[in-house]
Amino acid sequence: MILPVHALVRTRLQHALTHTFGIPEAEQPDIAIETPPRRALGDLAVPVAFELARRLRRAPRAIAQELAAALGEVPGVARIEPAANGYVNFYLDRRSFVLARLRGTVPALPLTDTGKVIVEHTAINPNKAAHIGHLRNSALGDALVRLLRFQGRPVEVQNYIDDTGVQVADVVIGFSELEGRDFEGVKALADDPAVRFDYYCWDLYAKVTEWYEGDKARLQVRAQAMHAIEEGGNPLAEMGAFVADRIVRCHLRTMARMNVDYDLLTWEGDILRLHFWTRAFEELKALGAVFLQTEGRLAGCWVMKIEDDTAATDAPAETAAADAPASPRQELDEEPREDQREKVIVRSNGTVTYVGKDIANQFWKFGLLGKDFFYRVFDERGGRPLWATTSDAPSGGPLAPSFGHASAVYNVIDSRQAYLQELLKQSLSTMGFPREAERSTHFSYEMVALSHATARELGYADTEGLGKPFVEVSGRKGRGVKADDLLDRLIATATGEVMQRQPELPAAEARVIAEAIAVAAVRYFLVKFSRGKVIAFDIQEALSFEGDTGPYLQYAVVRANNIFNKLRERDGVDADTITAELDTLSPDALTEGDDADELWGLVLEASRLDEVVDSAIRALEIAHLAKFAFTLAQSFNTFYHRQPIMREERADVRLWRAAAVAYCKRQLTQALALMGCEVPGRM
């Protein structure tokens, strides 16, 4: 945990800037605290002298020197040195730093915001099996949840279930029109243990798509089905509800394999039945944000005007080159834009689009709707209830906790829906809630596609996209890698690897270990790329357990744990007894020589977990955490090879090394846990 040290150093610097340099705090630049590129340059580096150079009209070097002198003694800092180029470098007191971290006596920084955060992720249409694209959403969303909780923030995880959309309707049509099944027929199929219901629907959904293409008039059937489902109280609606329920249960099982969990399932049908939309609609109408279009192609629809606030009306004149000629663009573009865009909220047939329902839902999340759901227990895992919304008042049963009323909301959805998410924010601010609009965050990420090699392997290569850099996943066309198939393959591969290394292990145990390895492999793979990058999913690459992979990280921790197993066996000591002994030892092994520098470097690096979590949340980049964990595992492996513990005869050196490893493995285990990965006992 390094942030408390940052906070102290920053405070002292601000103090010095105020009192020695006479700069009031409000006018001070932000003080960045960096990690120097080489250990010899110190443990923390501050480039603030560069910022001040122009303002003070002095060389950065001179400022750095005066600043370093003005700081005086700082608790926990051994020395402060102004570098020749203008950096101020801090060297920490290694011994006290290590001891405090091992003993957990570092006081946590106070939370600046304690309000509840709602994170909505997964939100898979409940009409088919989950695929690799959905997995990216869940891996990112679940990691965000874990990071926020790590910081001590209360988090509510919601999974939105779109049970009244076209996709469920399509599968219902597949069952009723293409297969001639009634409710009982579908139920019999779903209850058949030989049938994987979500896989069955995957194929059926693709067939329905083809069926529509065969005759566009069949789209009429879809419109009718959607209407029936939204209305309720008819056989199609019953079938739809059944399909959604069963598929959601499949998704929950798949996600449970991935260590992904939720607090609440929000069912779209409840938003309709409880008239959430009606309430939101009334307000939007009253404010004129939504109006009935009477002419043009959207006649008969209730529409919302789309604010084009991204238009380049405010020219960045200040930043443009001073000698650049004045742009005549302003004058030329004076014509009124006739392409003013409008988004349909209520269709001419009276049904509500996704946007409308989502607006109501977003208002509810912030506690702004003045209505609430009823709640029911949908399922149990480990004795804890998983709650779902419902439209009927419950009769008895456990009392539901308070849902909603968030102070901040993160919606984890891929970047293709950026435009819809922008509408959500827009409607919040039009309705007079700019603060909530501000705290409505679209956690956007790019889609997962298939590499050409993988598409070919799955038999999709000849379909399309040969000229493109990747092959797009399409649930509608039944093209993609199913999440459970991927996990099964990873487990099979991992089982082979485990049995090869641990031949005496019972198959059941090998299987449990293989599952942990498989989960780490997928989850790490899905978060290690920054979110703005399209992942061209390659199955061979994902199946690898070497190099920059989840299993590599697990392996590092397993090795570290092995050292402690052996120390316990041979010397009868564990991390706690070692920690207790450190007081009496000379700190030379920590301070003198290259080995000491390396050992210290490992501890310092491991301590940066809180800093990395902070950065990951601010940038919404789980990849920062992944990179940190990988680099730390690399450093550990290097240390492991260069500085043995069991074979080390000098007791003080041995114990300091063991202490460093204890801290490193604790931090690495934590980092893995934040990505939803567990570490097996051996592998």
Partner RNA sequence: GCGUCCGUAGCUCAGUUGGAUAGAGCGUUGGCCUCCGAAGCCAAAGGUCGCAGGUUCGAAUCCUGCCGGGCGCACCA
236 contributes a contact to RNA by CB under 7 A: no
- 79 three-class SS: strand
Candidates 98-106, 244-252, 568-576, 638-646: pick the segment binding RNA (CB under 7 A): 638-646
Helices (H) and strands (E) in the chain, counts: 27, 16
Neighbour count for residue 650 (Cβ, 10 Å)? 11
Q: How far is the CB of 522 from RNA (least distance, A)?
A: 13
Binding residues among 123-182 for RNA as defined by CB under 7 A? 125, 162, 165-167
Q: Quick one: 3 or 400, whose CB is closer to RNA?
A: 3
105, 112, 294, 310: residue in contact with RNA (rule CB under 7 A): 310
Whether the CB-CB separation of 678 and 672 falls below 8 Å is answered with yes
Helical segments of 151-217, H only: 166-173, 183-191, 197-214
Residue 579, Cβ density class (10 Å: 0-12 exposed, 13-18 middle, ≥19 buried): buried
112 contributes a contact to RNA by CB under 7 A: no
CA distances from 671 to 284, 578, 668 (A): 44, 23, 5
Closest CA to 179 of 201, 194, 150: 201
Whether the CB-CB separation of 408 and 441 falls below 8 Å is answered with yes
57, 216, 570, 641: residue in contact with RNA (rule CB under 7 A): 641
Q: How far is the CB of 256 from RNA (least distance, A)?
A: 22
CA distances from 440 to 103, 214, 508 (A): 39, 42, 46
Q: Quick one: 385 or 493, whose CB is closer to RNA?
A: 493
407 contributes a contact to RNA by CB under 7 A: no
How are beta strands 117-120 and 408-414 bridged, if at all?
parallel
Candidates 259-267, 308-316, 570-578, 596-604: pick the segment binding RNA (CB under 7 A): 308-316
Dihedral sign, Cα of residue 671, residue 675, residue 680, residue 682: negative
One character per residue 531-570, x = contact with RNA (rule: CB under 7 A): -xxxxx-------xxxxx--xx--x--xx--xx--x----
53 contributes a contact to RNA by CB under 7 A: yes
Q: How far is the CB of 551 from RNA (least distance, A)?
A: 4
Whether the CB-CB separation of 648 and 536 falls below 8 Å is answered with no
417, 429, 474, 591: residue in contact with RNA (rule CB under 7 A): 417
Q: How far is the CB of 521 from RNA (least distance, A)?
A: 8
How many residues are there in the chain?
A: 683
Q: What is the CA radius of gyration of the chain?
A: 29
277 contributes a contact to RNA by CB under 7 A: no
Q: Quick one: 183 or 353, whose CB is closer to RNA?
A: 353
Q: Quick one: 24 or 329, whose CB is closer to RNA?
A: 329
Whether the CB-CB separation of 505 and 482 falls below 8 Å is answered with no
530 contributes a contact to RNA by CB under 7 A: yes
- 381 three-class SS: strand
How are beta strands 374-381 and 384-390 bridged, if at all?
antiparallel
Candidates 101-109, 188-196, 373-381, 524-532: pick the segment binding RNA (CB under 7 A): 524-532
41 contributes a contact to RNA by CB under 7 A: yes
Q: Quick one: 384 or 501, whose CB is closer to RNA?
A: 501
Binding residues among 325-384 for RNA as defined by CB under 7 A? 341, 344, 347-349, 351, 353-355
267 contributes a contact to RNA by CB under 7 A: no
57 contributes a contact to RNA by CB under 7 A: no
